[in-house]
Amino acid sequence: MSFTTADIRNISLVGHGSTGKTSLLEQMLFVGGVIPKAELPDSGKSVSDHTDEEIERKISIHTTLAGFEWHDKRINFLDTPGVADFVGEVVSAYRATESSIVLVDASDGVQIETIKLWRRLNNRKMPRMVFINKLDKERANFDTVFDDLNEKFDKTFVPVTIPIGEGKNYKGIVNLIENKAYLVGETDHPIDIPEDIHDMVEEYRLKLIESAAEGDDNLIEKYFEEGTLSPDDIRLGLKEGLQSYKIVPVLCGSSLKNNGVTSLLNFITNIAPSPACYTEVAVGKDSEDVDVAISTEEKFSSFVFKTSIDQFSGKLSFVKVVSGILKSDTEIYNSREEKKEKNSKIYKAIGKKLVEVKELPAGDIGILVKLDTVKTNDTICSSDNYIHFKQLALPHPIYAIAVSASSKKEEDKLNDFLHRVSEEDLTFNMEFNKETKENVISGMGELHLTIILNTIIDKQKIGVEKRIPKIAYREAITKSSDAEYAHKKQSGGHGQYGKVLMSIKPLSRGSHFEFVNAIKGGSISKGYMPGIEKGILEAMAEGFLAGYPIDDVQATIVDGKEHPVDSSEMAFKLAGKGAMKVALEKAGVKLLEPIMKLKVFVTAKYIGDILSDMSSKRARVLGQEDLGGGILEVDAEVPQAELQRYSIDIKSITSGTGSFEMEFDHYSTISGKIADSVIKAAEASKE
């Protein structure tokens, strides 16, 4: 069956870990007739958690694509991990979908990851629904969680389904739009609402109708005149309110007991926005922003939001078609590489199972295979439609370790594998640090890197050595100084001669280096200036105090002398280097350390411990923000040297509930005992 853009629904499933995203998708796939049985996540047989690492650890690590037809609509689900280490998977899922279902545990309510995911949704102004799951669980309480949502988020929450009983007394749900009940075990057979909950249902239904009426001016008038709204009126009001970002519908159920699932699927098909309601922003050939309507009437374009390497199918490129129609066996154009490539086959996915299709219309999501030049963030378009869509707004890695192969013979093999991982996972980074001479890998947490390295050790049979990375310190001058240096060498034939008079002065932090030729009268030919500059830069790279590069210097050549026969660029390079070393002796060189911008998310009860720990880490606390519901964000600047194990420290301090984000901010001067210890360590390393 073919679908128009208006018939498509793209939904990301997000939530704190263990809120039941994977089990909910299993039940939806079962109800949709895609799988014969809904498997438990712990079974190792679920559609979502199918990799060896996910089965072993019993958690989602990768975003899984799965979709099916429901009531003449095509629904594409992206099931995302709930662990903070894999937030990059969530970011890519947000980018590919028009709305999101936020799962909340009926006994735990809003948790830290819920808040962080919600903030990302706010930044995107993205419609979202809440599904309160696990109402059959002990301590489950719908009213408490509904109030918790209202307390912690500044949105209008609208009840759509409510529970009949909770915990061990959980019997099913009431669909307030239909005014019918769905009992456990009778999912497809609605019944009349039991008398004993009639008053509670009326109270919640009134909230639903009032909220739906506010979504449309005509509905408000109708509600005032008639005192109620029909189910179709309610759907219209909810549809407009959800799409315009005014309301958050709340549904509920138990994914374990397959209850509330049918009502959720009906809600998605009837009320969730289709891609046809939106546009994407792209950059055209003239570097101007272009709004691209998600429509089959436009020229073809699509965005690669995820890349995966499958051991059987090879490289998989997950694409969201933005405009036009993507057809198999056609030529496509990679606008980043400015290269054409032949696309042979197109697939839909049910987890790891690929199903071949002939085409994907605008708004649909699918998978292309074995496209050599294509990477995540690439735009694939027709050759007469040169555009590229804006890249994923991925977070910066927060945890780093230095790695090397146990055997030097396997170093290249290790590097090749790590580079392949970095192509799949853009929150994983690998680079060789020229200053510290280390291969450093970084990611979103200890678990993130552990899983990657364990895969290398187990599957590639490569021994890997791990250690805390060295810090890339810098050195800087604190005052101006002058120097004179002559390089002379005579050894038969042409000698070497070059004399340089120079002055240096400190520049503002981040300026790096300026070279000024202030010679008047031509005492040194202009042709020798590049050699002098190279020599100065070489001296700066070698450092002065501890062998760390010197930064933020202006070097001015004021005079010098050359020889008609013995001068050369090499001679002046050595003269420039020597003059710089002499100048540094009088320039008050100090050590600089990298300072990170740190954001910590923590519940109020741990704030004292967090601030105390920050104080011990030489942090400069910039402020606190109350995110609501007892969740605080602390902003600080902290030396990188103090944060090498912070992902481990914060778990210990907050019993695993706290999280953080960080990125490099600037370099700052250090002195005293801290500087002395850095210099001693550098000297010991040289020895």
Pick the CATH number of 5-192+246-277 from 3.40.50.2300, 3.40.718.10, 3.40.50.300, 3.30.70.1450: 3.40.50.300
Going by C-beta distance under 8 Å and a sequence separation of 6 or more, which residues neighbour residue 459? none
What are the tens digits of pLDDT across the range 236-289? 999 999 999 999 999 999 999 999 999 999 999 999 999 999 999 999 888 889
At residue 569's C-alpha, the angle toward residues 564 and 575, to 5°, is 90
What are the tens digits of pLDDT across the range 467-486? 999 999 999 999 999 999 99
What are the tens digits of pLDDT across the range 368-380? 998 989 999 999 9
What is 279-389's CATH number?
A: 2.40.30.10
Residues of the chain within CATH 3.40.50.300 domain(s) are 5-192+246-277
At residue 367's C-alpha, the angle toward residues 361 and 369, to 5°, is 125
| CATH topology for the 475-588 domain | Ribosomal Protein S5; domain 2 (3.30.230)
- Identify the CATH class of 591-686: alpha beta
Asked if 13 and 102 touch (Cβ cutoff 8 Å), the reply is no
Between the alpha carbon of residue 531 and those of residues 481, 518, 538, 539, the distances in Å are: 21, 16, 11, 13
Q: Is domain 399-469 given the CATH code 3.10.20.30 in the classification?
A: no
Q: Which residue has the higher pLDDT, 99 or 565?
A: 99
Instruction: Tell me the percentage of the chain whose pLDDT exceeds 90.
Output: 81
Residues of the chain within CATH 3.30.230.10 domain(s) are 475-588
Nearest-angstrom CA–CA distance, 109 and 166: 14
What are the tens digits of pLDDT across the range 544-585? 999 999 999 999 999 999 998 889 999 999 999 999 999 999
Going by C-beta distance under 8 Å and a sequence separation of 6 or more, which residues neighbour residue 52? none
Residues of the chain within CATH 3.30.70.240 domain(s) are 591-686
User: What is the value of pTM for the model shown?
Assistant: 0.86
3-state DSSP call for residue 281? Answer: strand
What is the DSSP code string of 403-469? EEESSGGGHHHHHHHHHHHHHH-TT-EEEEETTTTEEEEEESSHHHHHHHHHHIIIII---EEEEPP
Return the amino acid letter for 392: L
pLDDT at 464: 96
Q: Which residue from 637, 675, 638 is spatially nearest to 476, judged by alpha carbons?
A: 675
What are the tens digits of pLDDT across the range 132-168? 999 999 999 999 999 999 988 989 999 999 999 999 9
Residues of the chain within CATH 2.40.30.10 domain(s) are 279-389
Q: Does the structure show a pLDDT above 90 at 682?
A: no
